[in-house]
Structure formats: C-alpha cells, structure tokens
A and B are shown apart, each in its own frame.
Chain A
Amino acid sequence: MGPRPDGKLVSLREAISRFVPDGATVVMGTCLESLIPFAAGHEIIRQGRRDLTLVGPISDVLFDQLIGAGCVARVVAAWVGNVSAGLGHAYRRATEQGVPRPVEVQDTSNFAVALALMAGALGVPYLPTRSLLGSDVPRQLEAFRLFEDPWTGEPLLLVRAIQPDVAILAVQRSDPEGNAHLWGNLGVTEEAALASRHVVLLAEEVVDPSVIRSDPNRVLLPGFKVSAVVHCPGGCHPSPVPGYYRRDHAFYEEYHRATRTEEGFREWLRTWVLELPDRQAYLQRLGARWDALRQLQPAPAAPVDYAW
C-alpha cells in the first residue's frame, strides 16, 4: 500500500521534517530499554535539528547520541546513560564540559516522568505523589512543588504536567491511519502518546485496518491522535522489539568503548548515522548480525475471541 498525498503514511525523513522543528519538546524511549526509536533519532541528527528538549524515563543511549550530536538544549529524564554498559560519555561531556554544547538537565525520577505525562494526558496541571519527599531530585520549582493534602495536612509533592510537542513511538504494527498494536512492557508509552500534540509512529509492519480492529484491547491509542505513520522495519536496533528482534547487547558495549573520546564519538556518528542515507542502509551495514538477532523462539498468544 503506497502513501497517499494527504495520508499519514510518510517517509521517516518527511515525518521528522514536519513534526520535529528546532526547539521542539520531544518524548522518546517510553518503553524504557525496548522499542527505542533509534532510526528517528538518527534522522533528527542527519537533519541537524537544534535546541530540542528531550523527555523520557530512562533513555539508554539514544539520548546520549542526540546530545553528542549537538541537537539538544535540555533533558528532562530520570536517567541518561548506557543501561548494560555504563555511563553515557557524550552526556558527561555535555553536562560536565559543555562539549559540543552545554545541556541543561532537569532531574526527575521514572515515576515523576510517568506522572508528568499522565497529568498531560489527563489535561490537568499536575498530579500529587508521596514519592521523592526528602529527596534532592525535586529541587527545580518549575517542575515540582511541595504541597499539603487539603484534607489531612500531610506533605505531598506536586509533579507538573508535561505536554510534549511530539511523541515519537515505536510499535509492532499500525494501520495507515495510526491505529496501532503495541505489546510487551508499556512503560510510559500510553501517557506520552495521549499527552503530546503530535504522535509519530514507527511501525515494524503496516497492516490492514482489519488486523488492528480484530483486537482493540491491544491498541495503543486511537488513530485520530496520530499525525504520521512511518513504515520502518528494524527502526529500533540495537534495542529489542518483542516478536521481531532481540536486543543487540554487544552493540551497546561497542558504542560505550567507541565514544569514550569526543573524536571517537564523531567517528561513530559518521559510520552509523551521517554517512548513511536511511535505515535500510543501516541494516545493510549490520549485515549478518541483523539476521542473527531475528532468529527467535516463537511464543504466540492464545487467540482472543470478541464473539458477540
């Protein structure tokens, strides 16, 4: 099925160019270590976006790459680094030395990110929590305020809503209108999708609407909230997509070693992002390694019957 001129099914290049302008607030990496839309991050780098605010819970190395490439002014994330291999070298260079540019960090926690996005999704200005009381994390008043429960007088922390300009989310399959199926751990994906002004989906497969409608309980959010659908197989490598490919643990170790120096980071970026026109070329560069990651143990769910 080819893209219609007025349809949502577009190339990754077009989706990023239309929905991720300079200065945008972008939420990504919402499932945590799986379904990270690396292909979208790489396209953002190729298009030379600047002054982005990145929002996420933990972010694994996608945020590290965007920060190292100079695309980012501000990070609102509970954790930035390399989950299986260590610290994020580009993140450290930016926050400690301002290289390649200074990045402002708003400290937060995973639960606080979830609550901020949930408040955004519910259309309320904040949500209360008992988490982080006494922690130094909520010291930035633009995001957190101490408060008293009006009924009991007990201390509470208010977490301010976040409504990102765009959520870039990976899913297993979507129809051309953005009605999509996502399965596995959901992290903050539903909240991020519902809170954002635009949603860009990266789908491993684009399927007929009847496939999606056969199982509406598995739908991430209704298509009318989605601005663009990109058919992008392999778009999450080196992170895993349940049912499609496993995590490439070695790739994270290699990235960790290669990006220890600024020069090493530049070289890595040239090899895996700047020299490549698109995701197809990236997967070709991975070669046999990519085939190996797709050798899976089948684990189909029992069929669900919506008989009526």
Chain B
Amino acid sequence: MVRDVADWSVGELMVVAASREIRDGEVVFVGMRLPLLAYCVAKRLHAPRSVGIFENGIVRDVPTPQLLYTMSDTPNIVGAVWCTRMANVMGLLQRGDVDVGFIGGAQVDRFGNVNSSYIGDPHHPQVKLPGSGGAADIASLAKRLVVILPHGRHRLVQRVDFRTSPGYGDGPGWRQRVGLPRGGPSAIITDRAVFRFDPQTCEAVLHHWHPRQSLQEVVENTGWPVRVADGASPTPEPSAEELRVLREYDPEGVWTGNRNRADR
C-alpha cells in the first residue's frame, strides 16, 4: 500500500535529511541503522556515483537488493565491489580517502563531541552504553562527519560525560592540537532539527527545525543555549520520490517507524 506523501514519519524525515548530506561521487563511510537506508536513498536519487564503505570490510557502489538490519547481512555482500579486511577500509579512512561518515550516539555537545560509552561517571556509570564500535575512528578520520541521534536536553548536552568520538573538542584549533589529521562534524541530525557548524567558532548552529513543531520547542529541548543561523528555516519535507525509494527498502518502518526506540 502506498501511503500519502504528507504522511511521512520523523524517522523518514531523518533518513532523507541524512541522504542529502551525501554528494554525488563521494566516498561514504556508512554506519549502523539509519545511515544504511540513507546511503541507499542517496545512491538511487541524487548521488548515483557515490561509493559506500562498511567497517566490516564491504565496499559497494550499487544499492542492496533488500533492507539491511546490519552491515553484515548477506544482501550487503551480493553485488559488492570488494569484500576485504577491516584494516583495509580503515586504512582508506586514515589515509584521507573517505569524504563523509555517519555515526550515532547517546550524547552530543555543542562542539560535536559524541558519547557512546558511559552515562555518568565512567568509573561508576549509571548506564554502560555499547561503546565506540567504529564511531571514534570515523569521527577521527573522515573529512566530514554527520551525527544522528534523538533530540533531548539529556542528549544535546553542554558537556558530554565521555568523549568517545572527537568533534571539535573545546573549540577552534583543538583537532590540530591533538593531532587529528583532518575533518570534524559538519551536521547533527536529530528527530527535531538539523544543526551545522560555524567554521569560526566550531559551535553547532541551528539551521533547520522539523515541521510539526515550533523553533521554540527545539530550543527548550536542547541542553545548551541554541544559536539560530540567519535564514534558519523549517526542514524541507521529504519529496514523493524520496519517500517512494525509502519505502521500497523499509515498507514496514523497521528503521523509520515511530516505534519507541529510546533504549537503543
């Protein structure tokens, strides 16, 4: 059944927003969950020459024939251009051959540092999160980084409890000082808004708020004083074509439905 175009879920809006971060011809380090779909949408629509890299060692430049639950699902292997070792694809990342990478996380701060390790004191954590996976490597080494996470005052925080994945540290010049070769976050996509980073101050600045809520609600639900960009606007809604392609992969809303996935 084809749902109405106006009937998009916030998850679908997030995937579409993430897919728009991929430009044609780019080499993309695809992360877990939502970005698995974002890459397929970009590939089918506006970035047909993009190449997807997966940290398990898969490189592919055609969309998967089926929805992926994990990057190692068998449909991700069929039609791949390369199945290799993790060290080879991490080597591409470290050399500077990867344009953009996607990561998730439990907390992000206004300099784009991401925590996916501990909530509370790392020595006596309230919550032990799964950990970096490849996120810290992608954040360290990709030319651009897109962070995707649910919005909330406890998630978009003044200071992360643990800096798993380095953003801009404590501000301008920090990445160069610690020795990171390049990169840094270019966008944060949440279920309420899209932030981009001011190249001078390295701070996250609000560029878009998603429809169906007010800018004020976004500000109230953010744990740092929000700077709003000149010309900030509501997030462009998914087009009919974007939704059609997305729903071919995920008709049931496995990754894009409105199910409560707060514990992820």
Contacts and interface: CB of A to CB of B under 8 A. Distances in A.
A-B interaction? yes
A4 interface: no
B71 to A, nearest CB: 7
Contacts of A84: 69-70
A32 B56 contact: yes
Contacts of A130: 94, 140-141, 179-181
B130 A81 contact: yes
Contacts of B90: 110-111, 114, 131
Interface string B158-177: 00001111100100001100
B39 interface: no
A250 to B, nearest CB: 10
Contact of A135 (B54, B129, B136): B136
B264 A247 contact: no
B179 A86 contact: no
A141 interface: no
A130 to B, nearest CB: 5
Contacts of A154: 179
A137 B83 CA distance: 28
B1 interface: no
Interface string A127-169: 0011111111100000000000000001110000000000000
A118 B87 CA distance: 8
Given A86-B263, A136-B162, A91 B86 contact: no
Contact of A83 (B32, B74, B76): B32
B125 A87 contact: no
A87 B126 CA distance: 14
Contacts of B165: 135
A134 B134 contact: no
Nearest to A86: B264
A136 B137 contact: no
A33 interface: yes
Given A130-B140, A186-B83, A78 B133 contact: yes
Which residue, of A80, A114, A247, has the highest number of chain B Cβ atoms within 10 A?
A: A114
Contacts of B166: 132-135
A96 B118 CA distance: 10
Given A31-B72, A137-B136, A249-B69, A187 B57 contact: yes
Given A91-B128, A129-B94, A131-B94, A186 B133 contact: no
A92 B127 contact: yes
Contacts of A60: 70
Interface size class of B (residues with CB under 8 A): 35 or more
Nearest to A79: B133
A3 to B, nearest CB: 31
A107 interface: yes
Interface secondary structure of A, over-half rule: loop
Nearest to B137: A111
A249 B67 CA distance: 12
A188 B179 contact: no
B2 interface: no
A49 B141 CA distance: 39
B132 interface: yes
Which residue, of A34, A83, A185, has the highest number of chain B Cβ atoms within 10 A?
A: A185
Given A79-B130, A130-B181, A96 B125 contact: yes
Contacts of B131: 77-81, 105, 107-108
Given A31-B72, A185-B57, A132 B137 contact: yes
A83 B76 CA distance: 16
B133 A58 contact: yes
Contacts of B77: 184-185, 242
Which residue, of A34, A112, A134, A183, has the highest number of chain B Cβ atoms within 10 A?
A: A134
A305 B179 CA distance: 47
A96 B87 contact: no
A32 B76 CA distance: 13
B132 A107 contact: yes
A187 B86 contact: yes
Nearest to A103: B128
A156 B179 CA distance: 7
A118 B264 CA distance: 31
A87 B69 contact: no
B261 interface: yes
A186 B117 contact: no
Given A156-B179, A185-B54, A33 B73 contact: yes
Interface in A257-279: none
Nearest to B69: A84
A175 interface: no
Contact of B263 (A33, A87, A296, A299): A87
Interface string A166-202: 0000000000000000011111111100000000000
Given A109-B133, A112-B137, A187-B57, 11 more contacts: A80-B131, A110-B90, A110-B132, A132-B137, A134-B174, A135-B165, A135-B166, A184-B83, A190-B85, A247-B72, A249-B69
- Rank and list the top 6 A-B pairs by shortest CB-CB distance, nearest first: A155-B179, A134-B178, A81-B130, A33-B72, A79-B133, A34-B72
6 contacts: A60-B70, A118-B87, A130-B180, A130-B181, A185-B83, A186-B84
